[in-house]
Amino acid sequence: MPTPDFRAAVEARDLDAMTALLADDVVFRSPVAHKPYEGRPIVAAILANVIEVFEDFRYVRELHDDAGHALVFEAKVGDLSLTGCDFLEYDDRGLITDLMVMVRPLRAAEALAAAMGARFDGIVEMAAQLAGSDAH
């Protein structure tokens, strides 16, 4: 089952392992952005930054069915606690094709949006570098 690999990679803060589990055409559905982000480079860059923004991150529950998996987590953004869920869908190779994240409460989601927004230019730059390294 692929989920423990993703969970273990996130818990270890192992960006290379997380990225290796993403399909080339993975879609990331952010809890704070209106449009989805598509492609391994941008999703990897987002993951690299969010693991720095989240403090005291821990998965607390795992659910799964034939359609995919859900990993419930708790974390802090600054002094605000939040609960969230990673919803994962996989292809037949076990690679993540869709990663949707939801978080609550609203105040913590707003803090997450502000923290990630402040990093957005760096995220885009990192994605371009990752895309360039994938091409070689």
Count of the separate structural domains present in the chain = 1
- pLDDT single digits (tens) 69-98: 999 999 999 999 999 999 999 999 999 999
C-beta of residue 96 within 8 angstroms of C-beta of residue 19: no
Instruction: From 55, 56, 105, select the one nearest 82 (Cα to Cα).
Output: 105
Residue type, 121: D
User: Chunked in runs of 10, what are the mean pLDDT values of the chain (136 residues)?
Assistant: 79 96 97 94 97 97 91 97 97 95 97 96 96 75
Q: Is residue 52 classed as helix, strand or coil in its secondary structure?
A: helix
Structural domain of 95: 3-135
This prediction has a pTM of 0.92
Return the CATH number at 18.
Answer: 3.10.450.50
